[in-house]
Structure 1
Amino acid sequence: MDTLLGLRVFAAIAEHKSFSAVADRLGLSPAMTSKHVQHIEARVGARLFNRNSRNVSLTEAGAKYLQTVGPLLDGLAEAEAQLTTDTLSPRGTLKMSMPGWISNPAFAGILLAYHQLNPHVTFELDLSGRKINMVEEGFDLALRVAFNLDEGLIARKLADVTFQLVAAPSYLDRVGRPQSPDDLADAPLLAYSRVASDGRIRFGGSDGLDVRLRPVMVSGTEDILQCAAIAGMGYAMLPNWATRDDVSAGRLEVVLPRVTWPTLQIHAIYADRSYLPAKVRSFLDFLAGADGLAAAMQTRGHLNPDAEAGPQPPTR
């Protein structure tokens, strides 16, 4: 059998998680599609897919094999494209995972600008904030502020993200506005699970002051924390990029406004490959470029440009 076609069938099934869909896409019969996979499994001596009547997923061996052959197939496709076109343009589906707070008009503008330059790239976005397996789930990129880097992945810094403590004006009218960090002790916190799940905020660096708030809600999805803060449930530590519009509209208020709140870094996480598909490489370069993520965050601005020294990111 044609081993190269078999590899393409394998990679397509890994992406679409369906034998029948790939058969239709490639113009093969379902039986022939299965035979191609069996041929590759016989060559490598391992089962590549878990299958039942409803689901198809990669085995551990299949995920490792895809990590190796996927870039080779992408490279072959682009090499073939170079033979038929004068310039190589990014194309295909760019599957990305990112935090929910990045869903805003500024980031949509970045996507629009990139798409206008690269109209053959389609975006598939996951904003759930959940932990993902990039290889097994077929993600090209993940944007993360807090992360543990798995083996075979690398991180590229894109921009700084300033977090700040906010609350609803109505809530602050009821309980009073803190005048110092000590006033926050045991206050109700709507805690982002990847930054301050235990409610602790550290001021003044490694030798500074710890203030422990009382988590009343913990979530890895920032949207619900922001909504709960607007409703008056307590304090929330959120990126100023996400809260700027609500602060400007009076739905939220910055707590201790002369304090410099923690600044973390947002990274692009992607597979450590000697070759990156053009769609991934070009979007990475666009995010890191002069009109990319850092510029968009700067445009939205910092709320406290004359802030005094304050807290540091919580330590793990």
Structure 2
Amino acid sequence: MPRRLPDLEAWAIFAKVAETGSFARAAQELGLANPTVSKAITRLEARLGVALLARTSRQLTLTEGGRGVLERATRILREGEAAEDEATEQSAAPRGRVRVSAPLSFGIGYMAATLPGFLAAYPEVTLDIALSDRHVDLIAEGFDLALRIARLEDSSLLARRLCTVRLLPVAAPAYLDAHGRPSHPAELRDHRALAYTGGASPGLWRFTHPQFGEEAVTPRVGLWTDNADLLAPALRAGAGLALQPEFLVWRDLQEGALEVVMPDWSAPPLALYLLMPPSPLRPLRVQVVIDHLAQALKEAPWSCEQG
């Protein structure tokens, strides 16, 4: 017996419902009637013999079966949109919603400044930006792309490297005048540290030297936080030393409010990446966001290396 063609429309509708968390919002974004969306999900579940969504009067959640097929459903939706963009005149005028994840401090400090220019250039594209230092699951949470500052591990995601992000040990001159200027990582144990809880080994600071090799130290921490911006007032007030990304401290360094400690030693750098789902096909509305952010952010004044 010939195998039936897959119900591609229902798969795409399921992906949009999962992305938006709502039948009504999915219908609105797809330009469909609410009953059409509901019937498509019912039709797909009947065909598969498994529930994809758990529905209550207040909440819509993915079942285990729904989570298992979401990545493929999302790929069907995205590749269908990309194919239509390429084949129709609409490719000249990108439109629709693009979901972006970005780190909190970086998003407010640098990404935000790039948005007015984008919105003016692409008035029919709607940006939905979530700021968090949490590493989101792009596929499961329905994001089109993410900015991430990290040492990127092996991943099925596509990654576009924009620039190096140096980590600098810094302190206020007044603090260093009072407590001394360390010249070796081992001396940091005698100092008070202000530390970020993110990263693979929070509180463990690693450094390298061209002559003396590698050193690791666990300083005495007086303040922990999951957002490095919070450390700035304490740093400027002379409360201790911190290992901070350059984009957070470059202005203070220029103005003399902070200075780099142990300039002959360097911490392993991070990098700024644009991460995308694995499919090489992307709707034009997503591609223009990628191109805009890549161009705007690789020219950041604190960047020590172009991507």
Q: TM-score, normalised by structure 2?
A: 0.80
Structure 2, unmatched stretches of 5+, are 1-5
The separation in 2 between residues aligned to 1:72 and 1:56, in whole angstroms, is 21
Match of 1:203 among 204, 208, 219: 208
Q: Secondary structure at the match of 1:107?
A: helix
Q: Secondary structure at the match of 1:295?
A: coil
Task: Report what 1:184 is aligned to.
Answer: 188
* Within-5 A mapping of 1:109-188: 109-146=113-150, 149=153, 152-188=156-192
Match of 1:266 among 272, 289, 299: 272
Give the length in aligned residue pairs: 296
Given the superposition, is the C-alpha separation of residues 287 and 242 from structure 1 closer, same or farther in structure 2, using an over 3 Å criterion? same
The separation in 1 between residues aligned to 2:131 and 2:28, in whole angstroms, is 30
Contact conserved, 1:158 with 1:287, CA < 8 A, in 2? no
Q: Please tell me the residue identity of whatever aligns with 2:276.
A: Y
Q: Secondary structure at the match of 1:178?
A: coil
For structure 1, which segment, 263-272 or 117-126, has the greater mean C-alpha deviation from structure 2 after superposition? 117-126
After superposition, the CA RMSD in angstroms is 3.2
1:272 Cα deviation (Å)?
A: 0.9
Given the superposition, is the C-alpha separation of residues 55 and 230 from structure 1 closer, same or farther in structure 2, using an over 3 Å criterion? farther
Given the superposition, is the C-alpha separation of residues 189 and 33 from structure 1 closer, same or farther in structure 2, using an over 3 Å criterion? same
Deviation string 1:132-188 (CA, Å, 9 cap, x unpaired) is: 222121111122232665764232322111110122344334423324433212533
Identical-pair percentage: 33
Given the superposition, is the C-alpha separation of residues 129 and 105 from structure 1 closer, same or farther in structure 2, using an over 3 Å criterion? closer
Given the superposition, is the C-alpha separation of residues 80 and 154 from structure 1 closer, same or farther in structure 2, using an over 3 Å criterion? closer
Please tell me whether residue 62 in structure 1 is matched to residue 66 in structure 2: yes
Given the superposition, is the C-alpha separation of residues 126 and 246 from structure 1 closer, same or farther in structure 2, using an over 3 Å criterion? farther
Contact conserved, 2:236 with 2:258, CA < 8 A, in 1? yes
Contact conserved, 2:209 with 2:266, CA < 8 A, in 1? no
Given the superposition, is the C-alpha separation of residues 250 and 46 from structure 1 closer, same or farther in structure 2, using an over 3 Å criterion? farther
The separation in 2 between residues aligned to 1:301 and 1:132, in whole angstroms, is 25
Q: Secondary structure at the match of 1:130?
A: coil
Contact conserved, 1:164 with 1:262, CA < 8 A, in 2? no
Please tell me whether residue 217 in structure 1 is matched to residue 226 in structure 2: no
Deviation string 1:210-235 (CA, Å, 9 cap, x unpaired) is: 23312333443222233443344322
Please tell me whether residue 278 in structure 1 is matched to residue 280 in structure 2: no
Given the superposition, is the C-alpha separation of residues 64 and 100 from structure 1 closer, same or farther in structure 2, using an over 3 Å criterion? same
1:260 Cα deviation (Å)?
A: 4.3
1:41 Cα deviation (Å)?
A: 1.2
Q: Please tell me the residue identity of whatever aligns with 1:276.
A: R
Task: Report what 2:11 is aligned to.
Answer: 7
Task: Report what 2:112 is aligned to.
Answer: 108
Given the superposition, is the C-alpha separation of residues 43 and 232 from structure 1 closer, same or farther in structure 2, using an over 3 Å criterion? farther
Given the superposition, is the C-alpha separation of residues 147 and 45 from structure 1 closer, same or farther in structure 2, using an over 3 Å criterion? farther
Task: Report what 1:307 is aligned to.
Answer: none
Given the superposition, is the C-alpha separation of residues 249 and 54 from structure 1 closer, same or farther in structure 2, using an over 3 Å criterion? farther
Q: TM-score, normalised by structure 1?
A: 0.78
Task: Report what 1:40 is aligned to.
Answer: 44
The separation in 1 between residues aligned to 2:149 and 2:182, in whole angstroms, is 27
Q: Secondary structure at the match of 2:134?
A: coil
Structure 1, unmatched stretches of 5+, are 303-316
Contact conserved, 1:197 with 1:218, CA < 8 A, in 2? no
Given the superposition, is the C-alpha separation of residues 207 and 295 from structure 1 closer, same or farther in structure 2, using an over 3 Å criterion? same
The separation in 1 between residues aligned to 2:264 and 2:286, in whole angstroms, is 40
Q: Secondary structure at the match of 1:135?
A: coil
The separation in 2 between residues aligned to 1:231 and 1:292, in whole angstroms, is 32
Please tell me whether residue 252 in structure 1 is matched to residue 258 in structure 2: yes
Q: Secondary structure at the match of 1:208?
A: strand
Task: Report what 1:74 is aligned to.
Answer: 78
Q: Secondary structure at the match of 2:44?
A: helix
